[in-house]
Amino acid sequence: MSYRMVIIRVGDSSIGRDFRSTFFDSGSHSRESHSRFGRRDCFSLVSRRRRRGRRGGRVRFTSLERLYERLGRRKSVDESTDEEDEEDPTPGCLKVEDVDFKILKNTNKHETDEYSITSKVNDENEKQIPKLVLRRGFSFTVVIRFNRPYNAQTDRVSLQFAFGERPKLVKGSLVRLELTDTFKDGQWAAVLKNSKDSEITVEVHTPPNNYVGVWRMRVNIKIDEKKIVYTEPYEFYMLFNPFHKRDEVYMADEAERKEYVMRESGKIYVGTSHQIFGKTWNFRQFSDDVLECVLYLLEESELPLHARRNPVLVTRKLTALINSSDDNGVLTGNWSGVYTGGKSPLAWTGSAAIFQEYFKTKRPVKFGQCWVFSGVLTTGIYCCGPCPVKAIKTGDTTALYDAPFIFAEVNADKISWILMPDGNYKSYIQSGEIGKNISTKAVLKNDRNDVTCEYKCAEGSAAERAAVLRAVNTAAIRTDAYKQGPQDMKFEIDVDFDAMFGSDVLVKLKMENTSNEVRHVGGSISAVSVFYTGVKAKDINKSKINCTVQPKSNGVAELLLTFNDYYKTMVDHCGIHLTAVTFVSETMQYCVLEEDFRLRKPDVTLKTPVKVSKLRPFDVEVSFTNPLKVALTNCILTVEGPGLQRPQTHPQCDVKPNETFHTTLKLTPIRVGTRSVCVGFTSEQLAGLEQESEIEVTE
């Protein structure tokens, strides 16, 4: 056995990184569809976090490691108390000459053939070494070629699988399989399917609760009772399996599997309950670097071994790691409206570019906001869910995970507290304002699917009220919050939700007197620009209310918002928040009404062919009309499409007021199937314009 001595200065993070990438390398693979063993010049994805601390690069050693340090050597990643040492082959004995992992056959069976890393070319149509991606619970085929014919009676061949830095037999992270002719469902097994000349075909069975991440396989040949020869390790990826009935993530509906597992693009619904927009997002889970980046994050997470089987714990950990606030994660959040040194969150149209930049630099990508976090992996900075939907629907806020937070998002009463002249507070309650039109993309359609009924019973029904009261009884809330006085005046904010950015907007407060007496109404109407989170940006306009409403009659108060009023106050999403505060002199009835809306942005026209051929360029035409009275400057056009090529960014000329922008781009498809082309346009004055189109790519 050869030894290598590495001197490392404790506490130096850069040296720690060099040590990790230099010392722990793994077997390289040939450029054919199978892989050969014997070389050690390919970087291993497996993390070595135990040798470099989470913060500041501090190196930690066990007592055994300190012993090896004094002896001038380190144990290799595949060495442990449960794994044998490598010996030189005895002349004339059985030797492994080649291992073929049948990547094409296995990935087709495991529904992983769309991953670009399993192909001989990447998304740029450049040659690469294909890697094996598997789903736990499914068997896979391995063909092993020896230097002579295999003799089942005398040759003692086994397969060894290792997971993690310190694989152990007792923990199931180290598995040794003798060749056999039988297997038990749900357990590890290596079944000898065929032996011909110097080749054997082995079918490897894996359990549906297997560890998820990077595995290593070796072929062991036992020479005698004291000597074992084994090959260099081959890394492959093991994923959760929504196609296997015994996996916790199993999805029974085939259409849902196609939508939620295999489809590379979707929609993230944003806006208000009156203005729902389906924002196209290219998830591109099969693209270059994406799977490797996610597995890298998982390896870096220091998640306990037992948790690597559990989809709930894995999901929650990755949720935290996606945000730079947690462990130097993927994205840096920015809600300021100023994106110097990075990219506006509205400029992103998919996840691939974000993952690829992070995987290349290992530094947080700038910048993201909630829907970007959602598109990349989850709903943001807060490690939320997965919580049982039934618990949310019934108001059981004692359930795991984060039930109170989720319930408040989808089914809560809105309570405004008004400071009275005498120093006391008066409450104003609005039911039915929270959790309107909860939306997701329809399965295998581009339509919106309203799933509100999955999270809450019909608004105002006895069951819905019971759920709210159940949640209230377990929360810290003032007992007098639901006490209300006379409510004989009704108020409603009316605004044109289809108003275009660039036009004037008239806001009306409608009043109805249901009593038999005159009512005098005072108060104010105000408008402010807001970020999509609802946080105020700048004041726009405000007017006072002083209105007399006759018995059984209606009244109205108005607020005009001109383009000059709001233009310089606008932030990313053109959001405006309206607030009407009213009080009735005769009854001391107080009311606080709020309404959010967004000024509509111009539609983008996208023209593409219906069908295109693989590796043949085609034209993409993009156009829209600038609705503003000012020119658009610092214009950027982005275009991407899963299976077409990597995301592209194209600077554009200024667009004059009321001018029609038009440009033509070229894309080259590299994979067959139904693909989506997505374009996005941003500028200093107008951002977040986008459109998509589906095309069919044929050979």
Annotated binding site for Ca(2+): 411, 413, 459, 464
The DSSP call for residue 259 is I
SS3 621: strand
**Angle value at C-alpha 24, between 23 and 26, nearest 5 degrees:** 125
Contact 72, 322 (CB under 8 A): no
For residue 137, CA distances in Å to 21, 206, 238, 271, 286 come to: 32, 5, 10, 41, 21
Cα distances (angstroms) measured from residue 164 to each of 47, 330, 362, 510, 646:
8, 23, 21, 65, 32
Whether 405 contacts 382, CB under 8 Å: yes
Q: Which residues contact 94 (CB under 8 A, 6 or more apart)?
A: 146, 147, 148, 150, 155, 157, 221
C-alpha 570/C-alpha 480 separation (Å) is 39
Determine how β-strand 213-224 pairs with β-strand 199-205: unpaired
Strand bridging mode 365-368 / 331-333: parallel
Query: Residue 232 in contact with residue 38, Cβ under 8 Å?
Result: yes
Helix (H, G, I), strand (E, B) or coil at 500: strand
Kindly give the pairing relationship between strand 611-613 and strand 689-698.
parallel
Q: How many CB atoms lie within 10 A of CB 573?
A: 22
Q: What are the distances in angstroms from CA 16 to CA 202, 302, 307?
A: 40, 17, 26
Q: Which residues are annotated as a binding site?
A: 411, 413, 459, 464
Burial class from Cβ neighbours inside 10 Å (0-12, 13-18, 19+) for residue 75 reads middle
Burial tier of 300 (Cβ tally within 10 Å: 0-12, 13-18, 19+): middle
d(CA 276, CA 459): 19
- Residue 604: other Cβ atoms inside 10 A: 17
Yes or no: say if 599 and 578 are a contact pair by the CB < 8 Å rule.
no
Which contiguous run of DSSP H or E holds residue 63? helix 63-71
Using DSSP's 3-state secondary structure scheme, residue 312 falls into helix
φ, ψ (nearest 5 deg) of residue 336? -85, -25
d(CA 166, CA 173): 8
Instruction: Specify whether the backbone of 172 is left (phi greater than 0), alpha (psi in -120 to 50) or beta.
Output: left
Do residues 646 and 123 touch, judged by C-beta distance below 8 A? yes
Tracing tokens 């097994």 back to the chain, one arrives at 189
